[in-house]
């Protein structure tokens, strides 16, 4: 798995937020696992929405249907299981922190196991985002979507 991605976009984005709002920390160490999952959920959703929109013009209803099928906890858990062997020791540690975090909520339509694994994936993505490693986040998601057959290909 080696897609060479530069992090210019994520660096610029975080720098704009920091400069204009002064709210970001330098890295993810100060955030709880569930805090990382909170932002990681948005990162994953944005990547998948971008892929779906890139399929071409279509109805928003169709965009939503495709995106929902990929971002739901069950699909995230399938992807997460596929990428585990590709993670660095640090990434695996963050994933496990997220997976093992005690959440007060759970998914409506997912098993507790799938929900927790999905939370681990989201925590990892949040960690990568906050540490300005969006290239790695995209690389991991790309690998997982390909391996699981979840890559959006048509509207």
How far, in Å, are 20, 37, 73, 140 from residue 41 at the CA level?
23, 6, 10, 15
Give residues with Cβ within 8 angstroms of 144, minimum separation 6: 79, 80, 82, 83, 150
Mark whether 41 is an active-site residue.
yes
- Residue from 6, 12, 41, 45 carrying the catalytic annotation: 41
Rounded to the nearest 10 degrees, the angle between the axes of helix 134-148 and helix 33-53 is 70
The two three-digit tokens of residue 7, written as one number = 């992090």
Nearest CA among 44, 41, 48 for reference residue 66:
48
The 3-state DSSP class for residue 115 equals helix
Closest by CA to 117, choosing from 90, 83, 151, 66, is 83
Give catalytic residue positions.
41
């Amino acid at each position: 798995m080696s897609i060479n991605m530069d992090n210019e976009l994520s660096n610029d984005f975080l720098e704009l937020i920091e400069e204009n709002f002064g709210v970001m920390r330098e890295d993810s160490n100060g955030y709880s696992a569930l805090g990382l999952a909170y932002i990681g959920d948005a990162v994953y959703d944005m990547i998948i929405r971008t892929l779906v929109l890139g399929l071409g013009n279509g109805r928003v209803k169709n965009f939503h249907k495709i995106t929902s099928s990929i971002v739901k906890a069950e699909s995230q858990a399938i992807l997460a299981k596929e990428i585990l062997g590709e993670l660095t020791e640090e990434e695996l540690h963050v994933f496990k922190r997220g997976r093992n975090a005690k959440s007060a909520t759970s998914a409506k339509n997912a098993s507790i196991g799938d929900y927790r694994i999905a939370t681990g994936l989201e925590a990892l993505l949040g960690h990568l985002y906050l540490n300005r490693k969006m290239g790695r986040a995209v690389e991991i998601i790309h690998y997982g979507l390909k391996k699981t057959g979840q890559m959006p290909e048509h509207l």
